[in-house]
Structure 1
Amino acid sequence: MPTPRLLIIGLDCMEPSLVFEQWQDDLPNLSRLMAQGSYGRLESSTPAITVPAWSCMMSGRDPGELGIYGFRNRRSRAYGAMSISDGRAVKVPRLWDILGEAGWRVAALSVPGTSPPYPINGQLVSCFLTPNKDVPFTHPPELAEQIHAWMPDFLLDVPEFRSEDKARTLQNIYALCDQRFTLAEKLLHQDALDFLMLVDMGVDRIHHSFWKPMDPRHPQYEPGAAFANAIHDYYVYIDKRVGELLAQCDDETAVLVVSDHGARPLMGGICINEWFIREGYLVLKETPTEPTPLDQVEVDWSRTKAWGAGGYYGRVFLNVQGREPQGIIPLAEYETTRTEIAEKLAKIPAPDGNPLPNRIMKPQEIYQKVRGIAPDLIAYFDELAWRSLGTVGTGKIHSTENDTGPDDANHAPFGLMIFHDPLKPRQGQVLEGAQLYDILPTLLYRYGIDAPSGLRGKVLPV
């Protein structure tokens, strides 16, 4: 048996157009995998964000079935009761669980959705949602001691990556990348692993921090600015680390390089709650004079029909009688009100008045099941070129600034996949119509393992 049989290199947010088109000639290892295998754009989950996308990919379930609609989810129907969804929200087996059950020795390193760590048939290092290194972050627990011995300054994420201290941010992005790839190499040497998966969050962090100086499409682009090559150079570095990791594997190891979503320049923000105020759906008892999070403002719930949450995409919640504590929309009017708001949101234009291609979705129409407390509507403003801002107090619908700190990029609905199986060379086959949900059924089929019932994806011809 090759060691490992299967290697997955997850690169959070890696953008297909940069790998497949713009910089392909500068990425020899990824290009070789493409030339010998299959590759293509990979449609992400909706929403196209880290949490829930990796859990969707590894479980073959959509956010509705997982009941995870973003980093933060409503805990209850109380107003403002949002909390971060960590790994405990995932109630279904993921790829490493299924392989472990089939007798494979597995390792999962920093895959989003694995904090807190839990027992698997091998080793697990939890993800960037781990609060700090004082809490358990490995399975088995003693693995943490070994990691500390190898890497005393082990990072769980890039600290405060939404910062103006760009040099420090860049240094930490490279440190995080080196630690993940080095840890993978050490564990491959130490254990006869059948499966190893790592996820590097550095790609996502570098996009959010350094997209503006790279991309002439960015509204605040300045030619010749500092750090103009930061993202390109990091892609080249990642490619080198991929090559070094592959050199530690057998000639028969199958390799999947995958991202959970892509990236694009952030054109600005749509102040969703300002729009609700203007349209009469949201009523405040007092209007703040500076940008303020909605949960720090007194809302007149007796006159409010809807409110929104900020983030890479917009989430809309309706104030329904008998459902929310002070709901005012009668259940009989729920669907017409929801449709009316969706149609109006879809027409929010660009600042110059030109239409934007906004997509407003009802969870019941895009998910197989809807569990937990879902938003009533999910809003993609210009396919995520504009993010949703939840703060109130500006009096404006459009903003050029992000309300959670400096941010150059937003997510894009397509990530990428490159799959090379030395036993089945595909000679540069381009995959069309691949979705993130297809990864699990495809890999289980490849290794002759029965897939759980009710998966959303299909088996890809790789």
Structure 2
Amino acid sequence: MKRLGIERVIIVGLDGLDPAILEAMLAAGELPNFATLRDQGGYGRVATTLPAQTPVAWSSFATGTNPGAHGIFDFVSRDPQTYRLELALNRYEQAGVFQPPRVVNLQRGTPFWRLLSDQGIPSSVIRCPCTYPPDPIEGRMLSGMGVPDLRGGFGTGTYYSTAEGITAGEAERVVRLPGAGPGAIETVILGPNHPRTRAEIRVPIVLDSVPDAGKVILRSTGEPQSLVLEVGRWSDWLRVSFRLGLLQSTSGLVRFFLVSMGPDRLSLYCSPIQFDPEAPPFPISSPEAFAGDLKRAIGRYHTTGLAEDHAALSNGRISESAFLDQCNDLWREREAMFEHELSRFQSGVLYCLFGIPDRIQHLFWRYRDPGHPANRGRPFVADHKNAIAEAYRRSDAQVGRALRAADDQTLVIALSDHGFGPFRRGVNLNTWLYEQGLLAVSTGDRAGDPNGAPLGHIDWSRTKAYSIGLGGIFLNLRGREGLGVVDPEDAEPLKAALAASLSGLVDPAHGAVAIRSVIAREQVYSGPFVDEAPDLLIRFGTGYRTSWGSAMGQLGEAVFEENTRLWAGDHIVDPVLVPGILLMNRPFRPEGASLLDLAPTVLDTFGLPAGPKMEGRTLLR
């Protein structure tokens, strides 16, 4: 029996919306649709996960369980036997050389949409993290965070330039162009590796400059064969085919941004290669044809799980204005998807995630914090001062879309997975472990080879603990790690000593508490996958986060370092500092609300009990 006469549920997922910002803008009357939703039902802050990280939090939202029960703890993990870093959201498996590879989703809880499907209740799930590969459900699903680019990473762009001495930055390739004088420039698009030879597949392109018009004509065998590139603007999509064999190929989509051109210079950025929604190498939708149907309905669209080219901005390849232009394109794509699904939404659940606010806050937080280290040596562009506020206004517009589509039998939910704050100082956890004599290096340079494998410089025979990811420490445990040295009976005393020493760690340069507390995984996680989690979890203080190097197992020069990158805001801190937001158009219980409560709440609206492993409880009164 349905609760409160509810026939439909619309969930607007707004990644990273922060309660303090939302509440201030509500009070100022700047978010009328949020205000309507609040007045119809209620508003509250919602507790997030530890860590307060997008794939972890949305997995708990979907399954109603803590990370120990769904198995997602971070973006990256490690193979304990080889110490090799791996993507933690999914993996590829191949039974034999004559068998095609398949994708395995490493989120192993049971999302509410599968329980609804078992009862014949449809769901339309658009871009929820950790849905690659997609679940076969009653309804439709388009995969979100976890979908790689065609090269297999989270998003690797290519920078082309006639300038000499340019080295590749984070998540990018660099292609040196010959001088940009009269005549055409021949170069290539760098594609995926050949599945058999592992050689990089390259597609030839020709660049014809039209200097007087500020344009370049890109010619290729792709679709279209002639593509116009204009300085300071994103191009249309180019569909490119990469040959894998005599009768086999795979296609991908790319866009270009012409950075600059002149009589003897040319610089050009190429986006990561997106899966072609009409012919992806692995399914990205359920049913499989849905991704292509959506393309035919709204046009071509980004398919990578992290679609915003944040690395290109951080590496200085594109400007903040170019990044915001791309974000506007992504808003329009997602809005078109949302409207398309709303137009045919009859019953069940419709969920759509808007991830753009999270990325804009990461990269434009410096405008909220004039003293942030990221502002040193960088211009303060007045037009960008309101970029974050504008993302909240655009989020408000999505709530308005949901409200217009709702009737008196529709439950509308708007929520975020976590809040936000400044990221001013990084903590080099591996450096701290090194200084405590708990981590050793095998090279004379403790930083190791910057181009070498992550963790490759560590001497495992003399290392008791190490850190990877965005907030965890692993013991080098004998019998678990390939070269473990910590005996199992010594593990608990070592964990207790580490937690005691790191908890309350003060940054001497500022007198601030950088680490509020350190907690053993067993104290916060339960379920079949706890053993995959870091042994210790770090709760950082406001303004602090794991350093960039420590996330990849590296050591810095000192325990603390300034974060001068454009990625100036973050949320991987003590979860109590960054709750999310929750609004409904029905009265609900805001006190003590948690992300774990949302799945039971959705099931409750259809008169269904919470799943047998769900830990939350319904929020409906």
Fold-level match, TM-score > 0.5?
Answer: yes
Deviations 1:252-277 (A, max 9, x none): 31101011111111122101111111
Identity, % of aligned positions? 28
**Partners of 2:569 and 2:296 in 1: CA distance:** 36
| Larger proportion of helix | 1
Q: Say whether residues 1:128 and 2:287 are aligned partners.
A: no
Note closer, same or farther for the CA distance 1:255–1:295 as it changes in structure 2 (3 Å cut): same
Going from structure 1 to structure 2, the CA distance change for 1:231 and 1:128 (only over 3 Å counts) comes to same
Q: Of the candidates 103, 112, 116, which is equivalent to residue 129 of structure 2? A: 112
Tell me the matched-pair count: 452
- 2:482 equivalent in structure 1: 325
Deviations 1:238-264 (A, max 9, x none): 212321343133343110101111111
CA contact (8 A) 1:269 1:398 kept: yes
How far did residue 393 of structure 1 move?
5.0
Q: How far does the alpha carbon of each residue in 1:64-123 deviate from its partner, in whole angstroms, 9 at most, with x for none?
A: 111221111234443134323137112232121122222222100000011112311010
- 1:154, CA displacement in angstroms? 0.4
* Whole-Å separation in 2 of the counterparts to 1:42 and 1:91: 23
* Cα distance between partner residues in 2 of 1:270 and 1:119: 42
Q: Does 1:358 align with 2:519?
A: no
Instruction: Judge conservation of contact 1:75–1:373 (CA < 8 Å) in 2.
Output: no
Instruction: Give the superposition deviation at 1:303.
Output: 0.8
Partner Cα separation in structure 2 for residue 401 and residue 217 of structure 1? 12
Structure 1 position 401, deviation (Å) = 2.5
Secondary structure at 1:130 match in 2: coil
Q: Distance in 2 between matches of 1:4 and 1:197?
A: 15
Query: What secondary structure, in the 3-state scheme, does the structure 2 residue paired with 1:54 have?
Result: helix
Residue among 89, 92, 108 paired with 1:85: 89
Deviation at 1:221, TM superposition (A): 5.5
Using the TM superposition, give the Cα deviation of residue 349 of structure 1 relative to its aligned residue in structure 2, in angstroms: 1.2
Q: Does structure 2 conserve the Cα–Cα contact (< 8 Å) formed by 1:73 and 1:85?
A: no
Higher relative contact order (CA 8 A, sep 6+): 1
Deviation at 1:177, TM superposition (A): 2.2
Counterpart among 354, 364, 375 of residue 200 in structure 1:
354
- Offset of residue 217 of structure 1: 6.8
In structure 2, the residue matched to 1:144 is: 291
Structure 1 residue 137 displacement after superposition: 1.4
> What's the secondary structure of 1:100's corresponding residue?
helix
**1:160 aligns to 2:294 (yes or no):** no
Equivalent residue runs for 1:347-426 within 5 Å: 347-352=504-509, 354-356=511-513, 357-369=515-527, 371=529, 372-382=531-541, 385-389=544-548, 390=550, 392=554, 394-401=556-563, 406-411=566-571, 413=575, 414-421=579-586, 426=587
Deviations 1:120-174 (A, max 9, x none): 1010000032123233211112212222223333023433224242112212222
Deviation at 1:198, TM superposition (A): 0.5
Distance (whole Å) between structure 1 residues aligned to residue 449 and residue 321 of structure 2:
29
> TM-score, with normalisation over the residues of structure 1?
0.90
Q: Distance in 2 between matches of 1:339 and 1:385?
A: 23
TM-score (norm: length of structure 2): 0.68
Change in 2 beyond 3 A, CA 1:325/1:88? same
Pair 1:454-2:458 in alignment: no
More displaced 10-residue stretch of structure 1: 372-381 or 388-397: 388-397
The letter for the 1-side match of 2:407 is D
1:94 is aligned to: 111
Aligned to 1:169: 323
Which residue of structure 2 lines up, in the alignment, with residue 438 of structure 1?
Answer: 597
Displacement of 1:219 after TM fit? 4.9
Rounded to whole Å, the distance in 1 between the matches of 2:288 and 2:491 is: 49
Unaligned runs of 5+ in 1: none
CA change 1:373–1:248 in 2 (3 A) is: same
The equivalent residue for 2:59 is: 55
For residues 163-216 of structure 1, what are the alpha-carbon distances to aligned partners after superposition, in whole Å with 9 as ceiling and x for unaligned? 242112212222222222221221232353421000111011111111111235
Q: Distance in 1 between matches of 2:610 and 2:286?
A: 25
In the aligned structure 2, how far is the partner of 1:399 from the partner of 1:78? 29
Distance verdict in 2 for CA 1:32–1:210, change over 3 Å: same
Structure 2: unaligned runs, 5 residues or longer: 91-103, 149-273
Contact 1:34/1:418, CA 8 A, preserved across alignment: yes
Of 38, 41, 44, 1:40 maps to 44
- Distance 1:278-1:291 versus aligned 2 partners, 3 A rule: farther
| 2:334 alignment partner in structure 1 | 180
Q: Which moved more, 1:185-194 or 1:314-323?
A: 185-194
Match of 1:308 in 2: 467
Residue 324 of structure 1 deviates from its aligned partner by 1.5
Q: By how many angstroms is 1:360 displaced?
A: 0.7
In structure 1, the residue matched to 2:502 is 345
Deviations 1:293-347 (A, max 9, x none): 7725322111111111142xx2101112222222111222111111111111114
Counterpart contact for 2:80–2:482, Cα < 8 Å: no
- SS of match in other structure, 2:332: helix
Higher strand share: 2
- Contact kept, 8 Å, 1:364 with 1:370, in 2: the verdict is no
Query: What secondary structure sits across from 2:403 in the alignment?
Result: helix
Alignment partner of 1:263 is 2:420: yes
Q: Is 2:77 the partner of 1:70?
A: no
Q: Equivalent residue of 1:70, what SS? A: coil
Name the amino acid aligned to 2:496.
T
3-state secondary structure, aligned to 1:434: coil
- Range that drifts further, 246-255 or 350-359: 350-359
Give the AA of the match of 2:500.
E
Query: 2: CA distance between counterparts of 1:295 and 1:5?
Result: 47
Q: Tell which structure's C-alpha radius of gyration is larger.
A: 2
What RMSD in Å do the two structures reach over aligned CA positions? 2.5
Gap change, CA 1:130 and 1:289, over 3 Å in 2: closer
